[in-house]
Chain A
Amino acid sequence: MLGLAAVLAAGLGAGVALADAPQRIVSLTVCTDQLLLDLVERQRIAALSYLAVDPTLSAKVEEARGLKGVRGMAEEVLALEPDLVIAQEYSTTASVDMLRRLGFRVVLVPLATDFEGMRHAVRLIAEAVGEKARGESIIAAFDERLAAARPQGPQRPRALAYQVNSLASGPGSLVDAALVAAGFHNMARDRALGPGGRLPLEEIVADPPDLLVLANSPEEFRSTVGDNLRHPAFAHMVSQLPHMQLSMPLWLCATPRIADAIDELGAKRRALLSAGARHD
């Protein structure tokens, strides 16, 4: 008798949860887009950000294709009549404020810059969309990959991730977290650079790293911001140094895809160390 009541209650609870779970979800930033695509079926997504289909930024272009893209303005979101809006802190803040005032349910995801922040973001969205179990399994799978990628040996080759506009990300950035997890010493740390640190070309030429990690080819942007990567002194250095390309969508956002970046970096580290051992 008691058992039946429990089953009934559980059944009722599940029914309520299902009815409660949002079915017209809108995500406003390219990072929350990718987390949302991991967590819910496509039919429950009313719109993603317009950047979800930009291959230079998003790792989920294929899945996002065909879904509506919004720029994050309150008016276009309003017209979609969403039952849940997922936005990121410090992004489209005016629209978020207005949507809240109008009574929409808005979940604000903090900007994650490390693995713990990423786990938190996954849990936050999973709970909001009623997919807690799926969120936990995503996190467990990521943790498994992270453990498998743990670097062997005490060597920590010096690596530097160098991007357009002379950006060299230091601690407090996902790139730094990925470099450390893969068994590198991030050279940006020696310069006390922050997450959005800049390193003059001259300093890299004067003290080159063991591995240069490049994200974008400057030709992807018709812009002067890539001039540091077009510089003849830099081209000369790239021709002399071990380097690798690490696609920006893998590490731009804190998503489980950062594990792919760690795997690629780890493989490069093993190659570097065995080449070094052969030389000795």
Chain B
Amino acid sequence: MTEAVAGAQGRRAAGWTLPVMGALAAAAGLAFLASLLVGPSGIGIHLDSDAGRLILVEIRLPRAILGALIGGALGLSGAVLQGYLRNPLAEPGLLGISGGGALGAVIAIHSGAAGAFVLALPAGGLLGAALAAMAVMLLAGERSGPLTLILAGVAISSLAGALTTLALNLSPNPFASVEMLFWLLGSLTDRSLTHVWLAGPLIILGGALLLTTGRALDALTLGEEAAQNLGVDLKVLRARIVAGTALAVGAATAVSGTIGFVGLVVPHLLRPLVGHEPRRLLPASGFGGAALVLAADVTLRLFAPMSEVRLGVVTALIGAPFFLWLVIKTRRELGP
């Protein structure tokens, strides 16, 4: 009965896919433009002066590009993980994959590797994220319930957070506490085109890899055995998801720190609009994530340009109330 209703809802929603996708892409595009227009030195673009050009090209453009790419990576990987683990709580932040990426990046910077060899920074983020993703999947196993998965995720993200803090404490760095904020709460402040070149290609590569999993995830909604009968190789699927998440989230975290809640909230927000089938949800979540992170970053610069408010704080402020609403709604539907 419920499955039939869900199926009908899914079909009904499916008709909206193209317009919704178009609207999401437009929203992301608008947020991108707003990100170019808004900044602490004033609203607008001034191409008539050197300073104006420098501000647009060197300061605002990299920030907007990274916001779009990182938001897209987080939204997309959230949708993929929720589909693969068939768990509504799955998300790179909650599962410790972002935390692993941050730890890898911190080690790359503080060991001096990133200073000696620029690619060490995204490589460290990638490696940390990959290890965390593999650890979560091994700990939680294929047939685990939501509880095991979340417990494994909590353990790994706490461990990654603790090791990140420890690495910063042990480094000869008088700004360790400030830097902890960066890695644990995320920021796009003062990111430059260098960071775009470091992280951008890897995020795009990982995102493309994740987008190819849509069909297999569709089949997986019918159950593992049914998916295997439909020709889905679960081992290959898992390898693609680990690699794609590690590339996209690891590279994103290496230049922006951990930005939470995007991967969790965006797929939930879009499911009622595009339906439950991952194939449609994945690209929609990518656009949605990009729009959300860009909008949060623009909000931050509009209302608190001088302060130390971090991007992760704004996404959590938007994300946490929504998440609570989701919990309450689910409880009502399922009964007490």
Interface residue ranges, A against B (CB under 8 Å): 56-57, 164-166, 191, 193, 197-203, 205-208, 219, 221-225, 227-228, 230-233, 236-237
Contact = CB atoms under 8 A, between A and B. Distances in A.
B306 A233 contact: no
Interface residues of B, number: 35
B194 interface: yes
Nearest to B171: A222
A233 B109 contact: no
B39 interface: yes
Nearest to B306: A198
A149 B52 CA distance: 38
Interface in B170-206: 171, 173-175, 178-179, 182-183, 189-194
A236 B58 contact: yes
- Most chain B beta-carbon contacts within 10 A, residue among A198, A201, A202: A202
Contacts of B114: 222
A69 to B, nearest CB: 14
Given A199-B306, A200-B306, A205-B54, A228 B190 contact: yes
A164 B175 contact: yes
Interface string B34-69: 000001111000000001101100111000000000
B305 interface: yes
A227 B109 CA distance: 12
Given A166-B189, A222-B111, A231-B192, 14 more contacts: A57-B174, A193-B306, A202-B40, A206-B41, A206-B51, A221-B174, A222-B110, A222-B115, A222-B173, A223-B173, A223-B179, A225-B175, A233-B59, A237-B54
Interface of B: 39-42, 51-52, 54-55, 58-60, 109-112, 114-115, 171, 173-175, 178-179, 182-183, 189-194, 305-308
Given A199-B306, A200-B39, A200-B41, A233 B58 contact: yes
B175 A233 contact: no
Contact of B190 (A203, A207, A227, A237): A227
Given A197-B306, A201-B190, A222-B173, A165 B178 contact: yes
Contacts of B171: 222-223
A231 B175 contact: no
Contacts of B192: 227, 230-233
A232 B178 contact: no
- In the A-B complex, list the 4 residue pairs whose CB atoms are closest, starting with the nearest: A206-B41, A233-B58, A200-B40, A225-B175
B178 A225 contact: yes
Contacts of B189: 166, 200, 228
A197 B308 CA distance: 10
B178 A222 contact: no
Contact of A208 (B51, B58, B112, B183): B51
Nearest to A198: B306
Contacts of A237: 54
A228 B63 CA distance: 13
Contacts of B109: 222-224
Contacts of B191: 227
A63 to B, nearest CB: 21
Contacts of A233: 54-55, 58-59, 192
Contacts of A201: 59, 190
